[in-house]
Structures are given as C-alpha cells and as structure tokens.
C-alpha cells in the first residue's frame, strides 16, 4: 500500500511537470471562488470581485461555441432567463473561445445573458475545468454573495440546464428578487 501511494504521488508530480498549466484540482464547495476578469459577449468586462457582497453568481463553463451540446445548453438558458432572473443572481456561460466567436454564438442562440471569453485559459485553469485540448469542461459553479463556492455541478445536462439551475438556486437558498 505504501508503494502504491508513493507511485501515485510520483505520477501526479510527473504529470504536473509534463503538462504545466493544466489544472489538476478545482476549488471545492466552501472554498473562495477564484476571481476572474473576463470580457463578455455584450461588450462589458466582468470580474467576480465586482459581485462580492452584492449578488450570487453562476458560471456555467462550456466546451466550445457552435457545438451541439453547447448550443442546446445556451438556448435552454436563454429561453428560461426570465425564471432564472427571479433570483438575485448574475449568471454567465464561459468558455476558452475567443470573444468574437462567443459574440457570434450569443447572437445565434439569442442569449440574453453574457458569454464570457477566457481565450488563454487562465480562469478555466483556476476553476479546474481546463482540459488538455484547450477547452473547458462542462461544469457549473454556484457562488454565494460572499464569494464562496456553494455548489459545483459536474454532471450538467444541456437540455435541462436552465431548469436545473433554477432548482439549484432555490435549494441553495439564493434570495429571490
């Protein structure tokens, strides 16, 4: 058993040396959410720090604009935005796509919320969602007004993403407007 633990630790060290910049862990529930400053498809720049003490935040990471699952997820959130906005929350989808691609994707899917662009993967790495192919894993982070991670959904269903987000906001006790 000691030998297995030693080799597991050694493998993790070697993996991190071979693939620098790839996140091996993501923040856990109860941790402070990593700050980010990212450009939105609406032309504004968003920082998590700007919401601290004011409003809960949901960041739904998605792999790639214009792919089937991501299109279904974005449309689900756009079609149910009125229900999501009943909560005191700002919500975003975020990817490692360039801003121009997310702007076109937001227009095509009629997104009524900002899509955030993280083309260098800095925020995706901090959130532990950066994949070896340079895209983000489909994980949704629920962040409290005080900046603490409340929930991480690693099994997002694109078709029901809006309904799931609404249910999670209610279960997490996020205030209604």
Which residues are known catalytic residues?
70
d(CA 154, CA 79): 22
If you search the block for the tokens 């000691």, which residue do you land on?
2
Distance CA 128, CA 24 (A): 6
What the block records as the tokens of 32 is: 């402070």
Residue whose C-alpha is closest to residue 89's, from 2, 177, 7, 1: 177
Q: Which of 86, 111, 95 is nearest to 169 (CA)?
A: 86
């Amino acid at each position: 058993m000691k030998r297995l633990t030693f080799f597991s630790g050694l493998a993790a060290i070697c993996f991190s040396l071979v693939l620098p910049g790839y996140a091996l862990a993501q923040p856990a529930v109860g941790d402070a959410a990593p700050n980010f400053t990212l450009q939105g498809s609406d032309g504004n720049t968003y920082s998590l720090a700007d919401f601290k003490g004011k409003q809960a935040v949901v960041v739904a990471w998605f792999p790639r604009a214009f792919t089937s699952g991501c299109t279904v997820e974005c449309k689900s959130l756009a079609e149910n935005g009125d229900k999501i906005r009943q909560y005191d929350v700002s919500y975003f989808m975020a990817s490692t796509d360039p801003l121009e691609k997310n702007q076109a994707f937001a227009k095509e899917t009629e997104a009524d919320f900002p899509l955030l662009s993280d083309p260098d993967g800095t925020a995706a790495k901090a959130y532990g969602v950066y994949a070896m192919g340079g895209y983000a894993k489909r994980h949704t982070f629920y962040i409290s007004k005080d900046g603490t991670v409340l929930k991480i959904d690693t099994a997002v269903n694109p078709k029901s993403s809006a309904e799931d987000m609404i249910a999670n906001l209610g279960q997490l006790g996020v205030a209604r407007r």
